[in-house]
């Protein structure tokens, strides 16, 4: 008589121990959560579930920067937050000190549910990858002049902005100013445009803080300087 290839130690074939049953129930709950995500509404300040590769992670949204249609700011947290052990375990696995990150809304599964915890890196006791597919959510605005051959100069750097929508708003204001003024033409350059970009912390001395200042005045000064 052939013996079965796999048997549970100390349990009759076909039966589940309470511990095994708990694991099975948790796994079923995770599948149910994936199939029936709770819709997330921008601006509600609720934690969200985001995909990072094949895993699902918990993220806090940043107040005031959680209503963009395509991109919001989040910070990844250990799935057991705010329990005491989550801080130490989260630090060991790389959840801490990542700061605010840019998260595409297409990566959001929905509002966070405890059942998602089994699908996280923490549940597998794996560190988060260095590249989680999200760039830092500190922004700058760069005003760039381009030549016909594609080369150019950066005339002005503004930043850092803590909220993405403020950076986008200032870039729009500057582009409106550029489009409405024929005096912005610079000899040797064909275009002058403003665009929001990641804030380069290592080059912070080249940035001008945009807070409490009229950014269009800063633009006029930068253009006057390059014209000599």
Task: Give pLDDT tens digits for 77-100.
Answer: 999 999 989 999 999 999 987 888
- pLDDT, one tens digit per residue, over 17-65 is 766 665 666 667 666 767 778 999 888 889 999 999 999 999 999 887 8
Extended strands (E) in 37-148:
48-52, 55-61, 71-77, 101-104, 108-111, 139-146
* Residue 215 burial (C-beta neighbours within 10 Å; 0-12, 13-18, 19+): buried
| Percent composition of the chain: helix, strand, coil (DSSP 3-state, to 5) | 30, 25, 45
Task: Count how many Cα atoms sit within 13 Å of the Cα of residue 11 in the half-sphere of its side chain.
Answer: 13
Spell 69-89 as b/e; 16+ CB within 10 A means b.
eebbbbbbbbbbeeeeebbeb
CA-CA distances (angstroms) from residue 168 to 115, 141, 195? Answer: 36, 8, 8
Which residues, in sequence order, are CB contacts of 27 under 8 Å at separation 6+?
118
pLDDT of residue 1: 36
171 pLDDT above the threshold of 80 = yes
10 pLDDT above the threshold of 50 = no
Q: What is the pTM of this model?
A: 0.63
Of the candidates 144, 141, 216, the residue with the CA atom closest to the CA atom of residue 180: 216
Residue 104, helix vs strand vs coil: strand
- pLDDT, one tens digit per residue, over 116-151 is 999 999 999 999 999 999 988 888 999 998 888 888
Question: What is the rounded average pLDDT of the residues 157-164?
Answer: 89
Question: What is the rounded average pLDDT of the residues 175-200?
Answer: 79
pLDDT of residue 181: 66
| Dihedral sign computed on CA atoms, order 17, 20, 25, 28 | negative
pLDDT of residue 72: 87
Could you tell me if 123 and 106 are in contact, meaning their C-beta atoms sit under 8 angstroms apart? no
Residue-averaged pLDDT of the chain:
83
């Amino acid at each position: 008589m052939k013996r079965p290839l796999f048997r549970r130690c100390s349990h009759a074939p076909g039966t589940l121990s309470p511990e095994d049953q708990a694991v099975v129930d948790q796994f079923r709950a995770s599948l149910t959560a994936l199939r029936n995500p709770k819709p997330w509404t921008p601006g509600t300040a609720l934690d969200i579930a985001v995909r990072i590769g094949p895993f699902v992670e918990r993220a806090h949204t940043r107040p005031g920067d959680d209503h963009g249609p395509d991109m919001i700011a989040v910070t990844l947290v250990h799935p057991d937050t705010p329990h005491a052990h989550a801080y130490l375990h989260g630090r060991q696995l790389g959840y801490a000190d990542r700061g605010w990150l840019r998260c595409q809304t297409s990566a959001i599964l929905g509002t966070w549910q405890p059942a998602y915890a089994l699908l996280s890196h923490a549940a597998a006791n794996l560190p988060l990858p260095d590249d989680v597919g999200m760039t830092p959510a500190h922004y700058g605005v760069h005003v760039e002049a381009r030549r016909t051959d594609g080369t150019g100069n950066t005339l002005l750097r503004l930043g850092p902005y803590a909220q993405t929508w403020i950076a986008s708003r200032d870039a729009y204001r500057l582009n409106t100013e550029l489009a409405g003024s024929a005096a912005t033409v610079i000899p040797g350059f064909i275009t002058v445009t403003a665009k929001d970009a990641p804030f380069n912390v290592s080059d912070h001395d080249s940035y001008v803080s945009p807070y409490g200042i009229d950014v269009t005045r800063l633009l006029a000064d930068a253009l006057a300087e390059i014209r000599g």
